């Protein structure tokens, strides 16, 4: 019995780093985004807003998604945490993205990316104690988190880093 307990404790200590693949979130159209579907692909998670100076990054996010579709999925997370720049409903946001930027990558339902009501996925992304890699702060719209094919966090990029910048694309080549 003691040997079994020790084996279980050792397995817990040496367990693989936490993975984003454990999460399921509501999609913008009411369905479910199951991150385990993206095993084998890199994932770029981006908090988005429709009325922000960085909103034109939707165009580059779509271009990145199209160019690297075989090995990358982009997932947008609309959030109204900064300056009230995402005030619309999920339906409004979806329509805005499709009409103005032809967004075809998955979009989650509107969430909070910081504060006391932070979404569990963003709590995981921003806390090394949960993701096993790094602490990060979402300081504005269009922060980006890149995860590897196993769902392990690789890097965090601030808003000013555009989706097609070499800082991101180097991980996709």
H/E stretch holding 77: strand 72-78
Q: Is 52 a catalytic residue?
A: yes
Q: Alpha-carbon distance 36 to 16, whole Å?
A: 16
Q: Alpha-carbon distance 51 to 57, whole Å?
A: 12
Q: Is 105 helix (H, G, I), strand (E, B) or coil?
A: coil
Active-site choice (18, 52, 134, 164): 52
Give Cα 103 to chain centroid, integer Å: 16
Number of other residues whose CB lies within 10 A of the CB of residue 105: 19
Q: Alpha-carbon distance 87 to 135, whole Å?
A: 28
Number of other residues whose CB lies within 10 A of the CB of residue 18: 16
Q: Alpha-carbon distance 125 to 77, whole Å?
A: 13
Give the active site residues: 52
């Amino acid at each position: 019995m003691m040997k079994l307990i020790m084996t279980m404790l050792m397995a817990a200590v040496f367990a693989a780093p936490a993975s984003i693949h454990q999460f399921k979130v509501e999609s913008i159209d009411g369905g479910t985004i199951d991150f385990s579907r993206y095993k084998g692909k890199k994932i770029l998670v981006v908090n988005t807003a429709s009325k922000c100076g960085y909103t034109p990054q939707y165009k580059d996010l779509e271009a990145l998604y199209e160019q690297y579709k075989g090995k990358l999925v982009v997932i947008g997370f609309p959030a109204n945490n900064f300056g009230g720049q995402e005030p619309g409903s999920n339906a409004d946001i979806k329509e805005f993205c499709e009409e103005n930027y032809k967004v075809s990558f998955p979009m989650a339902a509107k969430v909070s990316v910081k504060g006391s009501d932070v979404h569990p996925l963003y709590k995981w992304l921003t806390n090394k104690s949960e993701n096993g890699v790094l602490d990060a702060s979402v300081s504005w719209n269009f922060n980006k988190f890149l995860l590897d094919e196993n769902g392990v966090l690789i890097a965090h990029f601030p808003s000013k880093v555009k989706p097609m910048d070499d800082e991101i694309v180097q991980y996709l080549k």
